[in-house]
Structure 1
Amino acid sequence: MLIQTLKTLFLRDLGKLRQEIDAYKDEAKIWYIEKGIANSAGNLCLHLVGNLSTYIGAELGKTDYVRHRELEFSLKDIPKAELLTKIDETSAVVDKALDTVTDAQLEDEYPLLVFDEKTTTGYFLVHLTTHLTYHLGQINYHRRLLDS
């Protein structure tokens, strides 16, 4: 049951991420940084795509995705259409990968050490949902502050 709840939350919030990026009236403002905002919406979007493609796609779904985390924060001016495609691809990867996770696996140790201590796969997936939501909120504020 938890896996279906997590899947619903991931797909819901990836859909909201898509809506937020698509809602920018001025595409260039996706990449703005000002007023004490440390990361652009574009970089946060790339970060979320990289994060989920790594920890759910590559690790649980066994895709061949290779993360370049430093580029998530250094790349600039990627067209909105390309960001939207990346979000759509990530949604498909998350959907497919979570279909392979069993309830028993949720209690197993997550295969990678991400934090200071080992965690269960279930704990880590819950963490990933809150990480997505945290940055989604930042993107929402970024858009409303800088794309007016």
Structure 2
Amino acid sequence: MLKESLQSIFTRELNKLKSEIEQYKNEQNLWLIEKSVANSAGNLCLHLIGNLNTYIGAELGQTGYVRDRPLEFSLKNVPKPELISKIELTILVVNAAFDALTDSDLETDYPLIKVVEGGSSIGFMLIHLAGHLSYHLGQINYHRRLLDF
């Protein structure tokens, strides 16, 4: 039950991420940074894609994905269709990893060293990652509403 709930949340939030990126009227505004807005929506999108492909895709799904975290924040002007395609591929990767998990797997230790404080199980890590996704999704929503005019 928890596995299916988490999978549903990740799919829902990644589809919301796709929708937020699609809603930008001016593609260049995806990359705006202004005053106290430290990260662009485009870079936050790349960061979420890298994060989920690392901690769910590579670690749980054994995809072989290799993360370049600094590039997630330094790369600029990735075309909107490419960002959307990367989100769609991430949805597939996340769902494939979840499909291979069992409910009892959620109780086992996460394969990497302890990444976050508070727990070490796969279930705990997935809850953490869902919160991280939602947090940055909210930032992207505000970025779009504030800077895409």
TM class by smaller structure:
over 0.9
**Unaligned segments of structure 1, at least 5 residues:** none
Partner of 2:58: 58
The sequence identity of aligned pairs, in percent, is 60
Aligned mates of 1:118, 1:27 — CA distance in 2: 39
- Compute the displacement of 1:104 (Å): 1.1
Mapping of 1:36-75 within 5 angstroms? 36-75=36-75
Partner of 1:122: 123
2:119/2:125 contact within 8 Å kept: no
Q: Return the letter of the residue paired with 1:141.
A: Y
TM-score by length of 2: 0.97
Aligned mates of 2:2, 2:51 — CA distance in 1: 21
Secondary structure at 2:6 match in 1: helix
Does residue 12 of structure 2 align to residue 15 of structure 1?
no
Aligned mates of 1:44, 1:105 — CA distance in 2: 30
Secondary structure at 1:60 match in 2: helix
TM-score by length of 1: 0.97
Partner of 2:134: 133
- Compute the displacement of 1:118 (Å): 5.6
1:110/1:118 contact within 8 Å kept: no
Does residue 36 of structure 2 align to residue 31 of structure 1?
no
Please give the per-residue CA displacement for 1:122-144, whole angstroms capped at 9, x wherever unaligned. Answer: 00000000100000000000000
Please give the per-residue CA displacement for 1:57-101, whole angstroms capped at 9, x wherever unaligned. Answer: 011011011000010000000000000000000000001110111
Aligned mates of 2:35, 2:138 — CA distance in 1: 17
Partner of 1:99: 99
Secondary structure at 1:91 match in 2: helix
> Over the residues paired in the alignment, what is the CA RMSD in angstroms?
1.0
Q: Could you tell which deviates more after superposition, 111-120 or 36-45?
A: 111-120
**What is the count of residue pairs matched by the alignment?**
148
